[in-house]
Structure 1
């Protein structure tokens, strides 16, 4: 569920004894309201420029952008939680402890390449960032005993992109092309190699204003499955999936995995013609997805999931 207008929600899963979090802040009703508007600081560009030898000017190279950082100034307010000063003081310490535990994110810190989700609603648009909570600094204040403490907190993003909080997901079933008959000589067992009817351009639209990362899932039974974004790229695997088996190609920056049945890496079975995972982004606009492969049952299918991406909220 997306946060309410003006709210932010930090969420991540548990890890063993370390609890997860679903911490909402940003408005008066949450008890953790923003003292100043949030600030998104985009990282500097790592320019690949080189000077021209014995000449004026430079030669522009490949440039890479650092990730963004979001900073919050939060008022932790428990003034109305009790009638006595001691009660307000204790309530404020409790609220600080709740925020501190969520921002500490020990369940994430002990896991490799696992981001938290920071969701928000701004101007009626639900967006999310992926990253990890970093700095958390309660200010030393005499007001703490009265039930109020200001806090500065930062969130380090995985990249410089805001994603739609509502994900998109399309299913493409494999359907062998029509045949007018069989031509001998025939051998058993008989198989048919074909492609899906696809999702023609116009049926699927990738929104946002930046290309985005898909998660492609092949569901067996199928041999040598291929996902094609028509006119863009193809992802092909040299393997056979049985009924009930699946392979997930997760191109997102924090994943970049090709897993069979959720645990076995089969990245080495990608054909050489398949782009690198970092290059398998979905372009903006109307797209045509096609599933290809060999399936004797006609029941194989694939799903393509993504979130529309934006350069800003």
Structure 2
């Protein structure tokens, strides 16, 4: 946890942690997960009937310090620099761009080890020694779900993707005699293998690009099927976001339900290991495609 900590949201990528940054990492505490349960008492009997459990991830508390006490400046300048760093940290952690936008999440890279999504909630400062250039703080971050993502050496959580095109069958041309009406509609079924890394199921973003007729379906072979209830024109793209806390469907970026009523988002994950993606449907041009994007996921925060 002693690598770079990075708080990222639109317009901001704030780094802290190692000694080269004004705000330095001291320690971290992750509160115990809590559970919401559907348990009920056994009617007229001992014990209880267990239902489904839901995990609420614990709050993350990050202890940091702003320390200019060893800087080669007069004590007044050290105090000013410490206060300046404190002001910037307070502004960044308030995260106006996030808290004013319903549903928007920030990303917190934790010491170059993993990344979690959620929201910074508050910053608590100890200014008792600010006059000599030393300030302590506790920063609180609330994860959106129990998922943590793997990061590379630069602290970035990389997006992976796989695309399957709805390619029409190869044809040798028209064969006489021709019978009206002529049709250039193609039914197609294409698949492509890929591998999901990480140690826990990944939640994908699925994008289907038209043109394709209503009733098209995307299959993760032997795991789940997503069906579209409406046709997509050549300039339309349906997006299905399966990530916890963001589960929704959109059409050209606008909220629109394009899914069959029996769609169960809780099943739309991809387990680590080999997978196979299939696009099935009918298209006039045969140029439709589906793309899945995902991040490699760790087992827990």
TM-score by length of 2: 0.89
Which one of the candidate residues 4, 11, 17 is aligned to 2:8?
11
Give distance in 2, aligned partners of 1:121 and 1:188.
Answer: 63
Which one of the candidate residues 187, 195, 204 is aligned to 2:181?
187
Task: Verify: 1:250 aligned to 2:241, yes or no.
Answer: yes
Which one of the candidate residues 242, 246, 250 is aligned to 1:259?
250
Give distance in 1, aligned partners of 2:256 and 2:26.
Answer: 49
Equivalenced residues, count:
292
What are the within-5 Å matches in structure 2 for residues 1-313 of structure 1?
6-13=3-10, 20-36=11-27, 38-81=28-71, 83-122=73-112, 125=113, 127-141=114-128, 143-164=129-150, 165-177=157-169, 185-196=179-190, 198-200=191-193, 204-224=194-214, 225-263=216-254, 265-267=255-257, 269-273=258-262, 275-312=263-300
Residues 207 and 238 of structure 2 are in contact (CA less than 8 Å); yes or no, is this contact kept in structure 1? yes
Query: For residues 105 and 57 of structure 1, do their structure 2 counterparts lie closer, same or farther at Cα, with a shift above 3 Å needed?
Result: same
| Residues 47-80 of structure 1: CA deviation (Å, up to 9, x unaligned) | 3322223333222211111123111110112335
Residues 50 and 61 of structure 1 are in contact (CA less than 8 Å); yes or no, is this contact kept in structure 2? yes
Residues 107 and 117 of structure 2 are in contact (CA less than 8 Å); yes or no, is this contact kept in structure 1? yes
Indicate the SS of the match to 1:299.
Answer: coil
Give distance in 2, aligned partners of 1:153 and 1:117.
Answer: 14
Query: For residues 242 and 82 of structure 1, do their structure 2 counterparts lie closer, same or farther at Cα, with a shift above 3 Å needed?
Result: farther
TM-score by length of 1: 0.85
Residues 81 and 87 of structure 1 are in contact (CA less than 8 Å); yes or no, is this contact kept in structure 2? no
Indicate the SS of the match to 1:35.
Answer: strand
| Residues 203-250 of structure 1: CA deviation (Å, up to 9, x unaligned) | x12222322211011112222332111111111112222223211111
Give distance in 1, aligned partners of 2:256 and 2:187.
Answer: 23
Structure 2: unaligned runs, 5 residues or longer: 151-156
Give distance in 2, aligned partners of 1:90 and 1:82.
Answer: 13
User: What's 2:153 paired with?
Assistant: none
* CA-CA distance at 1:88 after TM superposition: 0.7
Give distance in 2, aligned partners of 1:146 and 1:270.
Answer: 61
| Residues 266-302 of structure 1: CA deviation (Å, up to 9, x unaligned) | 31x32234x2223322223211001122223232211
Give distance in 2, aligned partners of 1:44 and 1:242.
Answer: 45
* CA-CA distance at 1:140 after TM superposition: 3.1
| Residues 72-119 of structure 1: CA deviation (Å, up to 9, x unaligned) | 110112335551111111101100011101100111111101110111
Query: For residues 57 and 39 of structure 1, do their structure 2 counterparts lie closer, same or farther at Cα, with a shift above 3 Å needed?
Result: same
What CA RMSD, in Å, does the superposition of the two structures yield over aligned residues? 2.3
Give distance in 1, aligned partners of 2:278 and 2:55.
Answer: 33
Residues 42 and 66 of structure 1 are in contact (CA less than 8 Å); yes or no, is this contact kept in structure 2? no
* CA-CA distance at 1:8 after TM superposition: 0.9
Give distance in 2, aligned partners of 1:150 and 1:256.
Answer: 38
